Chain A
Amino acid sequence: MITLEDYIVLATLLFMIGLYGVIVRTNLLMLFFATEIMLNSVNIALVAISNYYEDLTGQMFAFFIIAIAASEVAIGLGLLILWYKRHGNIDLNTLKSMKG
């Protein structure tokens, strides 16, 4: 039997992986992947908990997140391509125009 805990553990693990990616990766594309993983881990947790409480709100939230993530990726990738066309790379370390 797959219990709620298993889902939560899976979500946490995925989240950690995503977080790790966010911290160490400098390639913007990889960063997007990492954030997607984190979002999806949250989705898993939301769906699992909503199922556990038999409350649909959580699943609705998960849909919202998927929708937002999709649009976000669309805009983000667009910007990314634009950036690549201008600078020839998508390395985070070169994005320093906001240095204080």
Chain B
Amino acid sequence: MELFLYTALFAPLAGSLFAGIFGASPKNIITGLVTSSLIFLSFVSSLFLFVHLYNGGEIVHVEMMDWIMAGDLSVPFGFVVDNVSSTMMLVVTLVSTVVHIYSMGYMEHDKGFNRFFSYLSAFVFSMMVLVMSDNFLGLFIGWEGVGLCSWLLIGFWYHKESATWAANEAFIMNRIADLGMLIGIFLIYWNFGSLQYDEVFSQVAETDTTILTWIGIFLFIGAMGKSAQFPLHTWLADAMEGPTPVSALIHAATMVTAGVYLVIRANELYSLIPEVGYFIASLGAFVAFFAATMALVNRDIKRVIAYSTLSQLGYMFVAGGLGAYWIALFHLATHAFFKALLFLGAGNVMHAMDDELNIMKMGGMRKVMGWTAILMIVASLALAGIYPFAGFFSKDKILEVAFDSNHYILWGVLWVTAGLTAFYSFRVVMLVFFGKERYKDFGFHPHEAHKFMLWAMSPLAVLAIIAGFFEHQFYNFVTGVLPHYNFSEEIHHVVGQLILVTTGIALTGIGIAVFSNMYREGVFSTVLQNNFIYRFLDNQWYIPKIYDEVFAKPYIELSTLLWNRVDVKIVDATVDGIAKFLHTTGEKTRGMQSGNLSHMLRWVVAGFTLLLVLAVVYTYYSI
């Protein structure tokens, strides 16, 4: 089994290095093929491991070699494949394989083709380290590694100012959160003396709750950055500057779910501190709603999907925060499938429209790209949570959990959000694929994507449809290591009504989107567009502006001030001042050396007198 583990882990690295060798050379399709097949190899190995565990096999745990050993700290490169990480591995490698194959078509005309695959495979490697590590610091390696790859890939088209800006924003914002995570790791080390998951979690029960609470908070701050939770969310929408396959893989399916994964991984810790869990759930519910409102009005196809990702991450955190870890993981998996599908579909649309993102310039595109339209509708239905698509099962479970644990406000928020989700996803579908063919006015000539790209997307489509039916198998599998979530008796009586209510609001949302679009192109009337709320939402609650005014600009100003005023004018000037003082003293007293014997004699007398006085004073005081 160890062989499979190492293959799954290092095949992407090998691919990345291989593509990296040709990084600066012109496009070579071989890099794409090699990296894709190595990722596929990684997928197959993950599948073997998964099957091994599914059939009740032993958890695979290896220690490859020592990493950091100092003082009492000892951190090895250790990897564990248990029910949770094997699920994650499967999801990650599956989506990665699809995205790699898809990218060969998407990036076919790009100069940086080889470089792109090198980065993409490096990302997969980092993500595998993140999910497979058996200790917190190993997780942190992956954590930072995916951050680096995300920086590289968002800024992939580095000649674009907006892309590099977004890349830096993403990296720096993640670093803020990473500091929180590091502090959490420090706390774990000094309180448990180890960073290995098993050693830490075996001790949590006997540890003081205050410390656990702090650890929980700091780790969650780390999760907030990577999973773009409020208030560290702005980078995710800006990250859409990267190539679309990147958005599908990193900023929808895998990296952003790392925060959720961390909460699930540390479930033994979080289940002991329900207050923090409740905070996580509340924040998740807020973000779910908050992001959905921003998605309602946005006209950028990728940004809408990005906000929906944010919103769905909120759902996952609600489940994780309320202790339903397996449900969070379930939603994570189904979401990865349909959201990646949605993004790749959006990628097809963009490609067809020469990288145009404004959905107001599209419309009626189902006629030229029917398959993409079908795939995106499938994904949107799954996202909206319509039976029998995958999203229905996982999202509905989260609502049930919220209802069951008597958090009716959370439930209410999520319920409303479910309606909003259905509305905005179908608003996009309607504006892009139905209605008047507005693109003709702008002189676009859309065309369907390559056949192999559509084929590559098909596994995701199939999973987006059927994944929900494996709920029980999934439950049985992951609860091998995750705690069960015990629904109360009463919930069974109302579960039918709950499903009805939720599906109802989702259908209503879809209905509004569909009908209003038939009635009026663009869904929102001009009157509505001048409304304060519309502008508020369109400006993303003014948060990017506030950040710019409150943090970014003052930081630049303060830096310049510190340099020009403090460092040069105060600190350095003081040093030079001392030197100048000595210099001027010399200049002033130079007159003493007039060479005139008479003057010298006077100085002798003066000095003599001074010494005499000092002697007298000293004698007087010492007696």
Query: Which one of B593, B601, B605 has the greatest number of beta carbons of chain A within 10 Å?
Result: B601
Q: Mark B588-623, 1 if CB is under 8 A from A, else 0.
A: 001011111110011001000000000000000000
Q: Is B596 in contact with A97, judged by CB distance below 8 angstroms? A: no
Number of contacts between A and B (CB, 8 Å)? 33
Q: Is A99 in contact with B598, judged by CB distance below 8 angstroms? A: no
Contact residue among A22, A25, A31, A96 (Cβ-Cβ distance under 8 Å from B596):
A96
Q: Is A92 in contact with B598, judged by CB distance below 8 angstroms? A: yes
Q: Is B602 in contact with A99, judged by CB distance below 8 angstroms? A: no
Residue on B with the closest CB to A95?
B597
Residue on A with the closest CB to B601?
A22
Contact residue among A22, A23, A31, A96 (Cβ-Cβ distance under 8 Å from B595):
A96
Categorize the interface residue count of chain A. Answer: 10 to 19
Minimum CB–CB distance for B108 against chain A, Å? 83
Q: Is A98 in contact with B593, judged by CB distance below 8 angstroms? A: yes
Residues of A within 8 A of B595 (CB): 95-100
Minimum CB–CB distance for A76 against chain B, Å? 13
Q: Interface of chain B, helix or strand or loop or mixed?
A: helix
Query: Which one of B593, B596, B598 has the greatest number of beta carbons of chain A within 10 Å?
Result: B598
Q: Mark A32-58, 1 if CB is under 8 A from B, else 0.
A: 000000000000000000000000000
Residue on B with the closest CB to A93?
B596
Q: How far is the CA of A22 from the CA of B604 in the complex (A)?
A: 10
Minimum CB–CB distance for B117 against chain A, Å? 76
Q: Is A99 in contact with B605, judged by CB distance below 8 angstroms? A: no
Chain B CB within 8 A of A66 CB? no
Residue on A with the closest CB to B598?
A92
Q: Is A92 in contact with B605, judged by CB distance below 8 angstroms? A: no
Q: Interface of chain A, helix or strand or loop or mixed?
A: loop
Q: Is A92 in contact with B593, judged by CB distance below 8 angstroms? A: no
Q: How far is the CA of A96 from the CA of B594 in the complex (A)?
A: 7
Q: How far is the CA of A92 from the CA of B605 in the complex (A)?
A: 17
Chain B CB within 8 A of A89 CB? no
Q: Is A23 in contact with B597, judged by CB distance below 8 angstroms? A: no
Residue on A with the closest CB to B591?
A100
Residues of B within 8 A of A31 (CB): 601
Residues of A within 8 A of B596 (CB): 92-93, 95-96, 99
Residues of B within 8 A of A73 (CB): none
Chain B CB within 8 A of A71 CB? no
Q: Is B594 in contact with A23, judged by CB distance below 8 angstroms? A: no
Known: A19-B605, A23-B605. A93 touches B598 (CB 8 A): yes
Q: Is A23 in contact with B593, judged by CB distance below 8 angstroms? A: no
Minimum CB–CB distance for A19 against chain B, Å? 6
Q: Is A99 in contact with B601, judged by CB distance below 8 angstroms? A: no
Q: How far is the CA of A97 from the CA of B299 in the complex (A)?
A: 90
Q: How far is the CA of A95 from the CA of B597 in the complex (A)?
A: 7
Minimum CB–CB distance for A31 against chain B, Å? 8
Q: Mark A1-44, 1 if CB is under 8 A from B, else 0.
A: 00000000000000000010011011000010000000000000
Minimum CB–CB distance for B592 against chain A, Å? 8
Extra A-B contacts (18), CB below 8 Å, given A25-B598, A92-B596: A19-B605, A22-B605, A23-B598, A23-B605, A26-B598, A31-B601, A92-B597, A93-B598, A95-B596, A96-B595, A96-B596, A97-B595, A98-B593, A99-B593, A99-B594, A99-B596, A100-B592, A100-B593
Q: List 7 A-B contacts (CB under 8 A).
A: A22-B605, A92-B598, A95-B595, A98-B595, A99-B593, A99-B594, A100-B592
Where the two chains meet, the residues of B that have a C-beta atom closer than 8 Å to any C-beta of A are: 590, 592-598, 601-602, 605
